[in-house]
Amino acid sequence: MNFIEAVQFIDRSYSYGTKLDLEHMKILLQILGNPQNQLKFIHIAGTNGKGSTSSFIHSMLKAEGYQVGLFTSPHLHCYTDRIRINGVNISKEDFARYTSMVEETIAPFYEQGFNHPALFDIVTLVAMMYFAKENVDYVVLEVGLGGLNDATNIISQSLASVITPIGIDHVDILGTDLKQIAYHKAGIIKSQGRVISTWQDPIVEEVLVETAAQQNASLCLLRKEQISIIHQDFKEQIFHLNTPYGILRDCKIRMIGDHQIFNGALAALTLIILREDQILSISNESIYQGLYENYWAGRLELLQDNPLILIDGAHNVQGSEVLASALTKYFNNKKITLIIGMLKDKDVDGVLNNLIPFAHKVIFTKPNNPKAMDPQELANRVNFFGKETYITQTIEESVVLALENASLDEITIFTGSLYLIGDARKIITEFIENRQEAS
């Protein structure tokens, strides 16, 4: 199949839902030669910060000179965004070739009545084959959903299980109780492995301690007190990180918000622990370089300076709390226009209640996803805030409405579903380029 056919095949698999069953993955990978057994993984689970933390680890290992595979989801622009080596997306030709191999492997089982793999299962299979064929040194592997039964948890061993902040999300699959959700996330912890986690809710920490003990795994909890924030502005942040093995001073990152400092610190601590355990070699210089060079699209990302245009994937309550904190820190008492679209399976009211109070104007729109909530319904949920609101049915409409009416002193922020953010980013960039050419 060619690339278009590969995308169509994967798009069709969306209708098969989210499979949390590893048995079929195991069978398919055996037929494909168990490519995952040729790879060394750093596995990342959590509710928020997984992608950024994964990207920080990838960037630092890349700075050391390693060939590093990075597997993340969802994509912002194209499926190839999910599978990268040293920052370069898998080619469309390779993506099509490996997807075709997966399709040929699936077909006989599907015809016999087996369940068809879901979208994420298929892309995970493609990633495993590609990374093995390219013989990467390490794979930074982000969990898709949960952990215990996630397709990425088909791996039998990892160099480290990294746990980012855990909160309430995907309640239809993982449960409404924080303890239940924590057990799912902790499911990536391997026997006699290493676990590095950020500080968590006490209930979550209890689960991590219990699971690590059951698996005879070492557990290191990063505490907030180990991080000293030295400087913050809209372009750069500087912090010290106090580790059990010494202090990293004046770590610089270009990503915005306290949470990115915490993500960067967790990523750096992970590699320091692996270095001290003599699992891999990495210099402090590469850690500093990787932290500073790291870039992760769609997370408080600045697209234009004047007037300010940002995008941020605040798609759940924790994400919206992080964005709200950043708005308070950087844009207090500024005029803010929010463009927001959500999926039905999220805590929509929780996100809206956190973000709408900051806006003087809100544009509701619809992400390109079957689970998208109707923009009018979103607007109906926040009538009591008394904000100036607009309804658009497409992301294109929302971009034009927002940017053509933005004043120089106004902050325009596109947020909500990651499916909205990816499309909005592309449309905004094209809009800005076209306007510059016209002028």
What the block records as the tokens of 401 is 């409405």
pLDDT tens track for 207-262: 999 999 999 999 999 999 999 999 998 789 999 999 999 999 999 999 988 999 99
For residue 108, the model assigns a pLDDT of 86
Q: Under a CB-based contact definition with an 8 Å cutoff, are residues 414 and 420 in contact?
A: yes
- What pTM was computed for the model? 0.88
| Residue keyed to tokens 């805030």 | 385
Taking all residues of the chain, what is their mean pLDDT, rounded to a whole number?
92
- Shared-domain flag, residues 339 and 269: no
- Shared-domain flag, residues 174 and 213: yes
CATH number at residue 206: 3.40.1190.10
Q: Under a CB-based contact definition with an 8 Å cutoff, are residues 215 and 193 in contact?
A: yes
- Total Cβ atoms within 10 A of residue 410: 17
**What is the tally of structural domains in the chain?**
2
Given 266, 293, 320, the domain boundary residue is 293
For residue 18, the model assigns a pLDDT of 59
| Residue keyed to tokens 């709408």 | 356
- Shared-domain flag, residues 163 and 189: yes
Nearest Cα residue to 402 out of 351, 355, 357, 359: 359
Given 276, 293, 310, the domain boundary residue is 293
- Shared-domain flag, residues 229 and 322: no
- Give the domain range for residue 374: 301-438
E strand or H helix at 363, and its extent? strand 361-364
- Shared-domain flag, residues 46 and 135: yes
- Shared-domain flag, residues 259 and 357: no
- Shared-domain flag, residues 192 and 68: yes
- Shared-domain flag, residues 253 and 314: no
Give the residue ranges of DSSP H helices in 215-314: 258-276, 284-293
- Total Cβ atoms within 10 A of residue 235: 8
For residue 238, the model assigns a pLDDT of 98
- The single-letter code of the amino acid at 221 is L
- Shared-domain flag, residues 174 and 54: yes
- Total Cβ atoms within 10 A of residue 305: 8
Q: Under a CB-based contact definition with an 8 Å cutoff, are residues 75 and 11 in contact?
A: no
- Shared-domain flag, residues 35 and 140: yes
- Shared-domain flag, residues 275 and 350: no
pLDDT tens track for 126-170: 999 999 999 999 999 999 988 999 999 999 999 999 999 998 766
Length of the chain: 439
CATH number at residue 375: 3.90.190.20
pLDDT tens track for 28-84: 999 999 999 999 999 999 998 999 999 999 999 999 999 999 999 988 889 999 999
Given 261, 293, 325, the domain boundary residue is 293
- Shared-domain flag, residues 257 and 324: no
